[in-house]
Every structure is written in C-alpha cells, then in structure tokens.
Amino acid sequence: MDKRKIISVKKSRWLQSELVDWSSQGLISQQQSDEIQAYYRIEQSQDSTSNTSWTTGILVALGALLIGGGVIMLFAHNWEVLGKAARTFLSFLPLVIAQSLCLYTYRQRFTSVAWREASAGLTFMAIAASISLIGQTYHIYGDLERFVITWFALGLPLAYLMRSNLVLILLTALVVWLCTFQGDPYWLLFIAFVPLWIDFYHNQRNGTFYWSTWLATFGFALSIMLSAVYRDSPLSLYPIISLLLMAVAFYGLGKSIFGLTEMGFWRNPLASTGALGIGSFSLILSYGDSWVWGYSRLDLAYGFSFYLDALLIFVAFGIITWVLIRYWSRLYWYQRLLMLVSISAVFAILHFAQSYSSYSLLIIAMNLFILCTSTLIIIRAVELNRALLLNAGLIWMSCLILIRFFDSDIGILIKAFAFILIGSGFIAVNIWFSRQHNKSTLQNSEMAND
C-alpha cells in the first residue's frame, strides 16, 4: 500500500520550485530534495479533470462562434427581401438568445467552464452583428474605428460578468486592431483588463488563463509596436532600442509576479515573452547599424501621444530598477545580465539624443552580453536538468555565431563547415543531456520505491 501523502498538481509544482530554490541557496542537499519529493504523490484525477474542463470550454466556445457566424450568414442571404421591422427583429434576435443563454448560465451553470465560455463568446459575436445590422438598416453613420470602439465598450462588461477568458482574448484582438488606426494611443485600453486578470490570477489559474495571458501579452507588445509605426512616437525614434527596454521590463515583471524560480516557459507568459524579445532584439543590435535605425526627429509632433509614449519608456525602466533592487540577491547571474542589458538601451537613448556617433562600443558590448549570458543559461540548464532552457541558450549562442560568420568575408566552404559543426553540436549536446536526464529519472524512481 502506498503510504505517500497525496497533494494536488498545483501544490506539487509549488513544492518543486521551492525545492530548487532551497537547494540553490544551500538550505538542503540534493538528496534531501529528492527524499522530500518522493514523500508526496500527485493526485492525477484532479489534473485530468481540470484539463478536460478548460479544453472542453475552448472547443464548445469555438462551436458557439461557428454557429453564430452561420446564423448571421443565413440572415445576410435573405436580407434584401425583408422589411425594416423584420430586419430590426432579426438584428436583435441573436443578441436576445445569447443573453438569455448567459442568464441561464449565470444562474444555473456558472461553475461550468464550457457553458460560461460558450454563452459569453456567442453574446460577444452577437453584439457585433446587432451593431452592424442596425446601422445598415437605419443608415446610421459610422466608420470602422467607431464600430470597433463601440464593440469593445459593450463587450468589456461581458468579460467581467461571465469571467470569460475567451472574451478577454477577443477584446485583446480588438485593441490590437484599433492600434492599426492612425489615432489615439489605444494600447491604454489594456488597463481595463487588469482587475479581471488579477482576479483570474488568484482564483482561476487554469489552462485558459495561461492562453489568455499569453495572447494579451503578445497583444500588448504588438499594440505598442503598431503605435510606434502608425503614429509620431519617441518609440519610433529608436525602435529596436526601445523594444529591447520593453522586453526587459516584461521579463522582470513576469519574474516578480509569477515567481523568480524557473516555472517553465508556458507558465510565465510575461517573462517568456520578455526573454524572446531580449533574445531577438539583442541579436539585431549586435549587427551593423541597427543602433541608429529610426525615423528623423524632424518628423515627430510633440503632443499628448508623444509624451505618453515617452512616459512608457520611463515606466519600463522604473520596473526594471525596482525588480533589480528588490530581488538582486535571489536572481541567478544570467537573470541579472538579462535585466542589466537595459542599461545599454538607456545609455544609447541618452547618447543618441545628442549624436549618432561612437556606437561601435555598444555593438561589441552586445556581442559579449549574448555570449556570456547564453553560456550561463546553458550551465544553469544543465544544473536544473531543463532541456528547453538548454536549447534556448544553444540557439541564442548559435545565432550569434552564424550572424558573425555571414557578417564577415569568410568563404562559403568555411561557412558550410560552421553549419555542420553547430548542427552536430546541437545533436551531441541533446543526446548527452537526454541520457543524463534518463539516468537521473531512473535514480529518483529507485529511491522512491525504496
């Protein structure tokens, strides 16, 4: 009979992250960590039920959206032969049905993820259909931008009332869409999601929560980039440098919210998005004239939007500074370097505000940063037995090496050998790592049985 204590999957993940932190600080030995893990057994049924619940919710919500789209197309096929009264009735009919379904779900089925997501998603699409059909029937003036704003304003309360991650994802898409218009800084609308996201973080941290957080994170980053492209903005003056600073802020914010210990790529959307941004933009800044890419200062209009985007840069640097001061002693060295790269971005902005000269030292510093940090990531991945982190460090270092090869006048034969060597290195390291992982897993299993 198995006498181990049963704990939930959530508690098991927390315990594993804490054990890694305690081992790194020397509070317990690796043997003690293994013995503590062997003392507990994960309750599998709870995990499978949770996964089934949110997966079913996503599939049912998708089905509801398809049904709503099909009904709208049926209306559109016979629209010209109907009178105004019939058009008005049919315009509101999908919305009334969807709202009735929401009312039933709110009173009877609110604990069901599938019912909540399906009814909320159907209502959200019905709102757009009713707005467009009524506007077409009565020839109400309005452009596409106003339509999207109205849709967002009417759909936002639905996300709070039904606690729907699907609606949160769709609202994110609307904000990104609004940022393509050459108007106001619509990325500010993401502030409206913060109270709902905090509530999800504390009470509803399941699969749909991570999906919506990932998409909202990417949506916010994309909205900022679109704002820089479509409007006069200080972000467009130094685009790559500013985006690097934003990526570091994302990384630090994710570490402070979701935890400093390595929680996995999927379970920390903010830090993972920031890490992807740091890796990408640092590679760009290690090459050529990328430090001085941007638009002319003469093209910028110094209005409200300009100063708001400038404030965003200061807020990003403030977040980075706060995380470094508060968590410096608990950060690993590669995490410290990932955060400290923001200093080069701030120095570049302050320096280039005066002139575009002497940026060669920054290019050298960025190359050294990538080389040192990727090496530390690989070492840390081997210590933690993390394949994803290991390959991330290898890919980052390999990209730097390849860029330097193509940036030089080395012959094609040597470049071909470089590709072969890097590919062979990837395969060899992963085979070695896989064997070490299997050996470690076998040892832990034997200790648990004993």
- In the chain, where the domains are located: 1-42, 51-228, 232-358
Range name among 26-30, 337-341, 433-437 with the lowest pLDDT average: 433-437
What are 84-88's contacts with CB under 8 Å, separation 24+? 84/137, 84/138, 87/133, 87/137, 88/134, 88/137
Is 50 exceeded by the pLDDT of residue 44? no
Task: Supply the DSSP symbol for 6.
Answer: E
Read off the pLDDT of residues 357-392 as tens digits, 9 standing for 90 and up: 556 777 778 888 888 888 888 888 877 777 778 888
Picking from 268, 158, 287, 291, the residue whose alpha carbon sits closest to that of residue 217 is 268
- What integer is the mean pLDDT of 132-144? 76
| Mean pLDDT of the chain, nearest integer | 75
Question: Which one is predicted more confidently, 333 or 287?
Answer: 333
How many CB atoms are closer than 10 A to CB 29? 11
The pLDDT of residue 354: 47
The pLDDT of residue 76: 63
Percent of the chain with pLDDT over 70: 68
Read off the pLDDT of residues 389-409 as tens digits, 9 standing for 90 and up: 888 888 888 888 877 776 665
Question: Which one is predicted more confidently, 407 or 170?
Answer: 170
- What integer is the mean pLDDT of 224-243? 72
Read off the pLDDT of residues 4-36 as tens digits, 9 standing for 90 and up: 666 666 667 677 777 777 777 777 877 777 777
Range name among 49-53, 77-81, 160-164, 196-200 with the lowest pLDDT average: 49-53
Sequence letter at residue 38: A
Is 60 exceeded by the pLDDT of residue 267? yes
Binning pLDDT at 50, 70 and 90, where does residue 214 land? confident
Residue 8 CA to residue 17 CA, distance in Å, equals 14
Percent of the chain with pLDDT over 90: 4
Picking from 84, 2, 86, 82, the residue whose alpha carbon sits closest to that of residue 40 is 2
* Unique residue bearing structure tokens 């003392």: 39
The phi, psi pair for 262, rounded to 5°, reads -65, 105
The pLDDT of residue 48: 43
Contact 101, 48 (CB under 8 A): no
The pLDDT of residue 10: 61
Is 70 exceeded by the pLDDT of residue 229? no
Binning pLDDT at 50, 70 and 90, where does residue 152 land? very high
Is 70 exceeded by the pLDDT of residue 340? yes
The pLDDT of residue 249: 92
Question: Which one is predicted more confidently, 294 or 71?
Answer: 71
Contact 145, 181 (CB under 8 A): yes
Range name among 101-115, 384-398, 416-430 with the lowest pLDDT average: 416-430
Range name among 65-69, 266-270, 409-413 with the lowest pLDDT average: 409-413
The pLDDT of residue 65: 62
Residue 368 CA to residue 252 CA, distance in Å, equals 21
The pLDDT of residue 242: 82
Residue 399 CA to residue 166 CA, distance in Å, equals 36
Residue 103 CA to residue 430 CA, distance in Å, equals 53
Residue 397 CA to residue 280 CA, distance in Å, equals 12
Read off the pLDDT of residues 318-329 as tens digits, 9 standing for 90 and up: 999 999 999 888
